[in-house]
Amino acid sequence: MTAATTRKRRASAGPAKVPVQPAASEVTSGVAGEMDDGIDTLGAQEAERKDRHEKVERDSFSMPASEHRRIKALREALGKAGVLVSKSEILRAGLALLAERDTAGVAQVIAALPKVAKGKRSKKH
């Protein structure tokens, strides 16, 4: 390789990358994740990222047919109100509501539920 060829390659490689300095409004107070206004933006961003990319797991549940009908009726009522939801979203909303209660309150709700046979169906051969 000649010196002229080396110079041409270096010139065509493009401009040198210059590190970008943060804007004055982005300067932190020295505490990780906190900006000058005291808002913990790093924690909020991390929580948002985790919510957005959380792994979804499939599962199956056994419940009486009457409760399936209640889910269907609730979905239809929400649909008429302009809110389209899936069965999964209804179950997740119920879980969120239960999480707001104390343990004793949740235990009372669970105790009032009718017992459902546990286990899987027998396979038909």
What is the residue-averaged pLDDT of the chain? 76
Query: 0.75 cut: is pTM over it?
Result: no
List, in order, residues 6 or more apart from 61 with CB less than 8 Å away: 91
Beta-ladder partners of 40: 34
Closest CA to 74 of 58, 88, 95, 61: 88
Please check whether residue 34 is in contact with residue 27, taking contact to mean a CB–CB distance below 8 angstroms: no
In this predicted structure, which of 25-29, 80-84, 119-123 has the lowest mean pLDDT? 25-29
Between residues 32 and 110, which one has the greater pLDDT? 110
Reduced DSSP (H G I as helix, E B as strand, rest coil) percent helix, strand, coil of the chain, to 5: 50, 5, 45
- What is the rounded distance in angstroms from the CA atom of residue 110 to the CA atom of residue 88? 19
Q: Which pLDDT does position 29 carry in this prediction? A: 47
Q: Which pLDDT does position 61 carry in this prediction? A: 84
pLDDT band at 108 (very low <50, low <70, confident <90, very high): very high
How many CB atoms neighbour CB 34 within 10 A? 15
Q: Which pLDDT does position 39 carry in this prediction? A: 54
**Cα–chain center distance at 69:** 28
